[in-house]
A = this chain, B = another copy of it.
Amino acid sequence: MEAQLKNIKIEKSKTTKINEVDFDNLAFGSVYSDHMLVCDYKNGAWETPEIMPYQPITLDPAAKIFHYGQSIFEGMKAYKDSSGATWLFRPKNNHKRLNISARRLAIPEIPEEIFMEGLTTLLRLEKDWIPSNPGSSLYIRPFILASGNGFHASPADEYKFIICCAPSGAYFSGKVKVLIEEKYSRSANGGVGYAKAGGNYAGQFYPTQLAVKKGYNQVIWTDDNTHEYIEEAGAMNIFIRINDTLITGPTSDRILDGITRKSILEIAEDEGIQTEVRKITVTEVVRAAKSGALKEMFGAGTAAVVSPISTFGHKGVDYDLPELQDNFASLLKKRITDIQYNRAEDKFGWRYKV
């Protein structure tokens, strides 16, 4: 049983921006709803959260978020079904993972009741912001930043937990062409790769820019020591289909424990697809591409859901993936989004009514 928060203070916005938004042409995460939730950590405790009009944050220039990258986040979505009801997908997994990230980044953990009640209270207020167009949803960004001050390289003594919402369309449009990275890396053994820490993303931008200049959309990350093990696809987990087996790498201290990743695995097993969670080498994938055994590659994550890869590049050679009529990616994407949007039975118990 969850403790009830005594009172989330709500200050409603006097105006709305909703009429300025073109819900038929939504980009990803670039317009924000009318309200946000803010919860401060001070004097060793999280205070009662407040919902307030979406507004700028004011911080001291010496706030540790600006200097030492002490920040973590989650990515979630709210879905509207045909009856207008609002659904979340496995939200307590996001709460758990936020706290796993928090521990690694020396950030105080957030209690479940603040996360869940803050989130649902905010979503009830913002329900008109949840798009109903196919493929659209309300992207939700819970995050924690170090607001305490000081140039000493040590954890902050104050934090802010914030939830913002952004009505969003698809993350990727069109086919995704990826480059297997041979020089740069996103994470170290014993590092923070498994956490949704801000710094993990900033480090990816430059290698991704270099790949984009070569005509690719994203980088496939490999291990930092040999560049032989396939780890992640951009900011997504990666799945590789060789013949009729669907393979993804094991989670580790370098690889994010993606909620879409583990849901896709469960759905695939439910579909009778043979799955393997094991290390995958670049050599194996290149060999399979050459022999024709490589059938599919796709990224999986909350933002992009399931994102099929059309081509991968490695050591100057591009390998095109076949365009299969009966592909796992489409099947698995349909199954997961049907659950998310309440269009199908939820035998797994993943849907969460707001």
Contacts and interface: CB of A to CB of B under 8 A. Distances in A.
B62 A205 contact: no
Nearest to A60: B56
Interface in A129-170: 139, 141, 143, 145-146, 149-155, 162, 164, 166, 168
Contacts of A204: 153
Given A29-B150, A67-B143, A152-B28, A192 B203 contact: yes
Contacts of A58: 56-58
A322 interface: no
A226 B246 CA distance: 32
A197 B199 contact: yes
A59 to B, nearest CB: 6
Interface in A76-96: none
A105 B184 contact: no
Contact of A66 (B143, B151, B183): B143
A121 to B, nearest CB: 17
A208 B29 CA distance: 35
B201 A235 contact: no
A348 interface: no
Nearest to A235: B153
A115 interface: no
A68 B139 CA distance: 16
A30 B61 contact: no
A183 B190 contact: yes
Contact of A205 (B105, B187, B208): B105
A200 interface: yes
A203 B146 CA distance: 13
Contacts of A143: 66-67
Contacts of A149: 30
A307 to B, nearest CB: 13
A129 to B, nearest CB: 14
Contacts of A191: 184-188, 203, 224
Contact of A225 (B27, B141, B154, B225): B225
A73 interface: yes
Contact of A199 (B73, B168, B203, B227): B203
A186 B187 CA distance: 9
A122 interface: no
A143 B68 CA distance: 11
A229 interface: no
Contact of A29 (B66, B141, B152, B166): B152
A56 B25 CA distance: 36
A74 to B, nearest CB: 11
A28 B149 CA distance: 12
5 contacts: A57-B58, A65-B198, A184-B190, A186-B191, A198-B199
Interface of A: 27-30, 32, 36, 54-63, 65-71, 73, 75, 103-106, 139, 141, 143, 145-146, 149-155, 162, 164, 166, 168, 171, 181, 183-192, 197-206, 208-209, 224-225, 227, 234-235, 303
Given A152-B171, A199-B199, 13 more contacts: A27-B152, A28-B152, A36-B61, A55-B61, A56-B58, A57-B66, A66-B162, A70-B205, A106-B206, A186-B188, A192-B199, A198-B199, A224-B224
